Amino acid sequence: MNNKRPVGVLLGCAAVALLATGCAEIPSNAGENPADPWETMNRHVWSFNDGIDRAVLKPAAEGYVKVTPEIVRTGVSNAFDNLFVPSHALNNTLQGKVDDGIGSVFRFLVNTTFGIGGLFDVASRIGLEAKPEDFGQTLGAWGVPSGPYVVLPLLGPSSTRDMWRFAEEFGTSPLTYALWHEDWYWSTGIGALTVVEARARLLPLEDIRKNTVDDYVAVRDAYLAQRRMLVNDGKVDEAEELQSLTALPVDDEE
C-alpha cells in the first residue's frame, strides 16, 4: 500500500499542473511582441511550470528553509555554486577572458579542496572572486542573436540561444561524471536537492510575484533585460531597455 503513495502524489501533482495549463489566460495580442512570437505556447508551458511549482517545489522549498539551519543552507548553496565553476572557466576562456578563466580554475580547485567540496567559499577570502559566464553569454559574445523567447518545461525562461547552456553545464559539471556509474537514487536525490535549494533562493521574491499584474510578462521582460546586460558585460542603453518593456494595464483607483 505504501508503495502506491509516491505514485499517487506524482499523479496528483501532474494533474494540478495540467489543469493550470488548461486554464492559462492567453491575451488577444499574444505573439505580437517580436521577442516572443511563441507566446501562446509559452504561456501554456508557463502555467504547467507554475502548477508544478505551487504543488511541489514551493512547499518543498519552504519546508527546506524551515527545518534546515541557515549555516547548512549556505554550505549547500556554496557547494552547488562550485559545481558550475568549471563551466565559468570554460566560457570565460571562450570569450577571450583568459585571466578570468584561469582564475575560475584556481577558484574551483581551492574551494573543492580547502573548502571541503565547495561547502566553504575559501577562494573569495583570498581574492579569487566568482566570474560567472555561461554558454548563452558565450554565443552572444560571438554574435549569435538571442532568438525567440521560450519557456522550457521545468527549466523555465530561456531563448533559442540560451537554451544550449543547459547542455553545456551538464557536460562540464563534475557531478555528472562523479555519479555516472552510481545507483540512480544518488543522482536523483542530489538533483532534487539542487532544485529545492535553487527554489529556496527565490522565496524572498514571492511578495513581488503577488503584486504583479501579469507575472508571465514581468518575468519575460526581466529575463530578456538581464540576458542583454550579461552578454554586454553590464553595458546597456537605458533608453532601449525602457522601450523594450511591455506596458501592463493598471487598475484605476476608485
pLDDT tens per residue across span 131-141? 999 999 999 99
Flag whether pLDDT at 102 surpasses 60.
yes
Q: What is the pLDDT of residue 57?
A: 93
Position 181 pLDDT exceeds 70:
no
Q: pLDDT grade, residue 183 (50/70/90)?
A: low
Q: pLDDT tens digit string along 72-81?
A: 999 999 999 9
Q: Rounded to an integer, what distance in angstroms lies between the CA atom of residue 37 and that of residue 30?
A: 8
Domain that holds residue 225: 32-67+145-172+202-235
Helix axes 215-231 and 39-52, enclosed angle (nearest 10) = 100
The proportion of the chain whose per-residue pLDDT surpasses 90, expressed as a percent, equals 64
Domain assignment of residue 51, yes or no: yes
Task: Tell me whether residue 75 is in a domain.
Answer: no
Report the C-alpha gap between 40 and 36 in whole angstroms: 9
Classify residue 40: in a domain, yes or no. yes
Does 16 or 128 have the greater pLDDT score? 128
Residue 75 pLDDT: 95
Q: What is the pLDDT of residue 2?
A: 44
pLDDT of residue 238: 59
Q: For residue 216, is it within any domain?
A: yes
Which pLDDT does position 10 carry in this prediction?
40
Evaluate whether residue 252 is within a structural domain.
no
Q: Would 152 be classed as within a structural domain?
A: yes
| pLDDT of 23 | 57
Residue 1 has pLDDT above 50, yes or no: no
More confident site: 42 or 23: 42
Average confidence (pLDDT) over 94-121: 96
Let me know if residue 226 belongs to a domain.
Answer: yes
Is the confidence at residue 16, as pLDDT, over 80? no
Report the distance separating Cα 128 and Cα 105, nearest Å: 10
Residues 212-219, mean pLDDT to the nearest whole number: 88
Count the domains in the chain: 1
Q: Is residue 227, in this structure, part of any structural domain at all?
A: yes
Least confident range of 25-39, 73-87, 107-121, 183-197: 183-197
Q: What pLDDT is attached to residue 167?
A: 95
CA distances from 236 to 38, 90, 144, 227, 232 (A): 26, 25, 17, 11, 7
Q: What is the mean pLDDT of the chain?
A: 85
**Of 208, 226, 179, 203, nearest in space to 63 by CA:** 203
- pTM here is 0.81
What is the pLDDT averaged over residues 190-202?
Answer: 89
pLDDT(48) > 80: yes
